[in-house]
């Protein structure tokens, strides 16, 4: 596998466009379109929140029932959530407009929205935006980047990753983009993720690969403990790499899953590190657990701890908060066996050995915790399983941003 510079237009046959439709924001792009020149197999995973936005309900139906998909239309600023039949109708109207402009079937169009909950979309502006983007579709790197920028809300950076791998003598590419900064919590977050590939693969294995991978990637991040109404990850495969079609779990399928996992992991980490108001990516790695499921629960418990996140912001090696978060996770373990290490680009330092603080330097610990990416490694010393979760520090700016989000 090779990491390349790219986004959703990196795989063959995929084009992108963006525009400033004026849906909520002023003086910036707020709509994006992704289009494949040939029909795609589609897979999707969606929010676990009982309150599901109209685009989620619409896309679940399309992914399940449509034979193929060719386009995705995304808007930022208004979430189209809690908008009833009118909001669902706007999903249909958007798809209908895109289908007409692109000369494809209505059920070949997926839609996605992110932003403020409870507001109706200005459908005329959406339809106008669709018309503009359909004429400006491009397979360039810049088109992909501008599309990634257009779907941002409180994000401070665009999030894109692409990789290639060899399958049956052909080069296969997987490229993705996502947005997400706040209302981020394991079990799919306020995030929209779009992953494109030119792999030839069956719809069944495409969905299985995605469903399995989100458990170790997007579902292992948290910014603030809030699970969104709009979470969506869509995976489209158009087969233009012309590799032997992947219809069974062979070596090519393993390579595809590896590439998909890399793309999803990297953009998930970008989301965690770009949490609203965040100054640091906070990674929690639990090793030596009795099972992978327990390792996941333990790592997520720490990364979701507001007290621990605040300590990371203060560059404070307050290890008691981590041990506390492990303790209330619901997993049974022997606290007198736990080891804890902090590490970053500045170095590594052991803080706890067998559940008790070692004689460490607070100054050295602070220096290590002052980096923009920090890792806590908790060894439970009870087995061989491990898992990693990602989050960020908790800052004053998080409150400022969310105290005034609707204005």
Question: Does 91 share its domain with 168?
Answer: yes
Q: Which pTM does this prediction carry?
A: 0.83
Q: Which residue is listed with tokens 């621990």?
A: 308
CA separation, residue 72 to residues 102, 140, 267 (Å) = 11, 17, 19
Give percent above pLDDT 70 in the chain. Answer: 94
Q: Is 223 a residue whose pLDDT tops 50?
A: yes
Q: Which of 273, 295, 320 is the last residue of a domain?
A: 273
Question: Does 161 share its domain with 15?
Answer: yes
Q: What is the predicted pLDDT for the residue at 117?
A: 86
Give percent above pLDDT 90 in the chain. Answer: 77
Q: What is the predicted pLDDT for the residue at 407?
A: 59
Return the ∠ at Cα 130 (arms to 129 and 131), rounded to 5°.
90
Nearest to 211 by CA among 88, 50, 64, 65: 64
Q: Which of 256, 273, 290 is the last residue of a domain?
A: 273
Question: Does 244 share its domain with 344?
Answer: no
Q: What is the predicted pLDDT for the residue at 226?
A: 45
Nearest to 236 by CA among 401, 71, 23, 18: 71
Question: Does 170 share its domain with 70?
Answer: yes
Question: Does 241 share its domain with 303?
Answer: no
For residues 179 and 271, give the distance between their C-alpha atoms in angstroms, rounded to a whole number: 7
The more confidently predicted of residues 391 and 341 is 341
Phi then psi for residue 100, to 5 deg, are: -65, -40
Q: Is 188 a residue whose pLDDT tops 60?
A: no
Question: Does 232 share its domain with 315?
Answer: no
Reduce the DSSP state of residue 200 to 3 states and report it.
Answer: coil
Give me the chain's average pLDDT, please. Answer: 92
Question: Does 314 share its domain with 225?
Answer: no
Q: Which residue is listed with tokens 């004429």?
A: 135
Q: How many residues does the chain have?
A: 407
- Residue 73 domain boundaries: 2-273
> What would the two tokens of residue 219 be?
């579902």
Question: Does 301 share its domain with 324?
Answer: yes
Residue 228: pLDDT band (50, 70, 90) is: low
Q: What is the predicted pLDDT for the residue at 186?
A: 42
For residues 71 and 30, give the distance between their C-alpha atoms in angstroms, rounded to a whole number: 17
The tens digit of pLDDT for each residue in 127-164 reads 999 999 999 999 999 999 999 999 987 777 889 999 99
Question: Does 237 share its domain with 112?
Answer: yes
Residue 374: pLDDT band (50, 70, 90) is: very high
Local structure of residue 254 (DSSP, 8 states): H
Nearest to 79 by CA among 29, 26, 17, 153: 153
Question: Does 298 share its domain with 399?
Answer: yes
Residue 183: pLDDT band (50, 70, 90) is: very low
The tens digit of pLDDT for each residue in 22-40 reads 998 888 999 999 999 999 9
List, by residue number, the catalytic residues. Answer: 190
Q: What is the predicted pLDDT for the residue at 152?
A: 87
For residues 339 and 351, give the distance between their C-alpha atoms in angstroms, rounded to a whole number: 8
């Amino acid at each position: 596998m090779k990491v390349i510079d790219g986004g959703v237009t990196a795989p063959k046959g995929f084009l992108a466009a963006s525009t400033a439709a004026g849906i909520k924001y002023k003086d910036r792009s707020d709509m994006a379109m992704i289009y494949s020149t040939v029909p795609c197999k589609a897979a999707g995973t969606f929010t676990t929140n009982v309150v599901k936005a109209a685009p989620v309900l619409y896309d679940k139906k399309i992914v399940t029932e449509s034979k193929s998909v060719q386009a995705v239309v995304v808007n930022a600023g208004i979430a189209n959530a809690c908008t009833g039949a009118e909001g669902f109708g706007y999903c249909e109207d958007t798809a209908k407009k895109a289908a007409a402009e692109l000369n494809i079937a209505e059920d070949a169009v997926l839609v996605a929205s992110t932003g403020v909950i409870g507001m109706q979309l200005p459908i005329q502006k959406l339809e106008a935006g669709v018309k503009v983007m359909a004429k400006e579709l491009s397979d360039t790197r810049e088109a992909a980047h501008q599309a990634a920028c257009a779907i941002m809300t409180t994000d401070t950076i665009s999030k894109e990753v692409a990789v290639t791998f060899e399958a049956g003598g052909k080069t296969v590419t997987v490229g993705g983009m996502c947005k997400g900064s706040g209302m981020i919590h394991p079990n799919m977050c306020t995030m929209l993720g779009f992953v494109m590939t030119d792999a030839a693969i069956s719809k069944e294995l495409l969905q299985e690969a995605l469903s399995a991978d989100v458990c170790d990637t997007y579902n292992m991040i948290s910014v603030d403990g809030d699970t969104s109404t709009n979470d969506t990850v869509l995976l489209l495969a158009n087969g233009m790499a012309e590799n032997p079609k992947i219809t069974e779990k062979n070596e090519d399928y393993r390579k595809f899953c590896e590439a998909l996992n890399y793309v999803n992991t990297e953009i998930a980490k970008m989301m965690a590190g770009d949490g609203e108001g965040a100054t640091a990516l906070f990674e929690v790695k639990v090793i030596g657990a009795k099972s992978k499921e327990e390792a996941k629960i333990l790592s997520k418990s720490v990364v979701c701890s507001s007290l621990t996140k605040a300590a990371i912001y203060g560059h404070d090696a307050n290890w008691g908060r981590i041990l506390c978060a492990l303790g209330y996770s619901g997993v049974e373990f022997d606290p007198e066996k736990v080891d804890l290490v902090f590490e970053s680009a500045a170095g590594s330092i052991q803080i706890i050995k067998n559940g008790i603080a070692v004689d460490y330097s607070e100054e050295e610990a602070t220096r290590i915790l002052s980096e923009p990416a920090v890792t806590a490694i908790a060894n439970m010393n009870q087995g061989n399983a491990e898992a990693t979760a990602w989050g960020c520090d908790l800052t004053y700016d998080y409150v400022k941003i969310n105290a005034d989000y609707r204005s």
